[in-house]
Amino acid sequence: MAGPLQGVTVIELAGIGPGPFAGMMLADMGARVIRIDRIPSPGGGSALEGLMRNDSIVDRGRESIAVNMKDPRGIEMVLALVERADILIEGFRPGVTEKLGLGPDDCHARNPRLVYGRMTGWGQTGPLANAAGHDLNYIALSGALHAMGPQDRPPAPPLNLVGDYGGGGMLLALGVVAALLEARTSGQGQLVDAAMTDGAAVLMAAQYGLMAKGHWGDARESNFLDGSAHFYGNYECADGRFVSIGSIEPQFYRQLLEKCEISDPHFLQQWERGEWPALKAKLAALLRTRSRDAWCALLEGSDVCFAPVLAMSEAPQHPHNRARGTFVAPGGVVQPAPAPRFGRTPSELPPPAPVIGRDSVALLRSLGLSDGDIAALRDAGAVYGPGGAA
């Protein structure tokens, strides 16, 4: 593997949502990520388990060892791997890994330099710490969800981007890399408590800053970045497709008026909030007069701050994305390429996700276990490999 994290070893206790996304980010940047998988149930697991596990993209770039987490021998195998690792990430509710014998104290006893990253929705402390939840709940508590969507409808869920990924997995990945940098100076690991409620709140820093200055209100669709302003929003075209306009700065706004041949003097009052509803209706009517492609021909690449609203099936084919290699399709599976990009230590696309337990034998051998030891662990149900054998 190439990338700036080459030489870093990460233990990932398999889960769903932000933990695997953090693991993907670390693997994309060159880290060796060893995922500790549960031994599959004979029936193949629940439908939800199959839905949430993305075998080719979010779980790419891992090695996989499958162990019985209820068997002390399986836990011992994990701890033996921890001894050689730099980072461990887990996404269980508070206290679960302690009950398994894989809590921070257990791991630091074996490896004092280990960075132990914990990913939860509510955090390790607080009155909600042990409650169940999902992305939508966590961003609701941060103030982020309330700000999204039209004012005459309930807040619009922003997929699972703000909690799970932006405020969760990204926060965890940054946190463990920062702690690893410190550990290489101090020689001591530490606990990283990454909570999606915290992360979603951090993502709202600019909005809280604007509110403190009196430039942002709590009412949904009443602020310049939430769809209220005519110069910042999405508009339907004649063909039923959409374009995005983001002409905030005055020089960009002037170019919008010039290129669209808008001469109505009311449009000169860009920041008069009382004019926004009427101006938005007028701009919407204008943009419905041409197809999306026609508006692209006129506005794309200019300083209007314009882009077509592309479907997921369209985005990989856009000339800009193609030129940059933003998407790749190994084995015919379209997926985002690793990001960000590094000039001296570029990342490479990691291989697809492994079959559960694919690397069990190799990893156990690397710990010094003989084939007889591995067979005994397999027969006892402590470990698992492809075909049911480690």
Q: How many residues does the chain have?
A: 390
CA–CA dist 253, 72 (Å, integer): 65
pLDDT at 388: 47
What does the angle CA 148 – CA 167 – CA 348 come to, to the nearest 5 degrees?
Answer: 120
Percentage helix, strand, coil, to 5, in the chain? 40, 15, 45
Is 320 an annotated catalytic residue? no
Active site residue: 28, 59, 164, 198, which one?
164
Active site residue: 134, 215, 266, 320, which one?
134
CA–CA dist 16, 65 (Å, integer): 17
Q: Give Cα 230 to chain centroid, integer Å.
A: 30
pLDDT digits over 40-49, tens only?
A: 877 655 555 6
pTM of the model: 0.94
pLDDT digits over 94-103, tens only?
A: 999 999 999 9
From the CB of residue 305, how many other CB atoms can be counted at a distance below 10 Å? 18
State in Å, rounded, how far the first CA of the chain is from the last one. Answer: 25
pLDDT digits over 58-86, tens only?
A: 999 999 999 999 999 999 999 999 999 99
From the CB of residue 269, how many other CB atoms can be counted at a distance below 10 Å? 12
pLDDT mean values, one per 10 residues, the chain (390 residues): 92 94 97 95 62 74 96 97 98 96 98 98 97 97 96 95 97 98 98 98 98 96 96 98 98 98 97 96 98 98 98 98 97 95 95 93 95 93 73
Is 134 an annotated catalytic residue? yes
Name the strand (E) or helix (H) holding 377.
helix 371-379
| Cβ 384 vs Cβ 77: under 8 Å | no
What is the residue type of 383? Answer: V
| Cβ 25 vs Cβ 175: under 8 Å | no
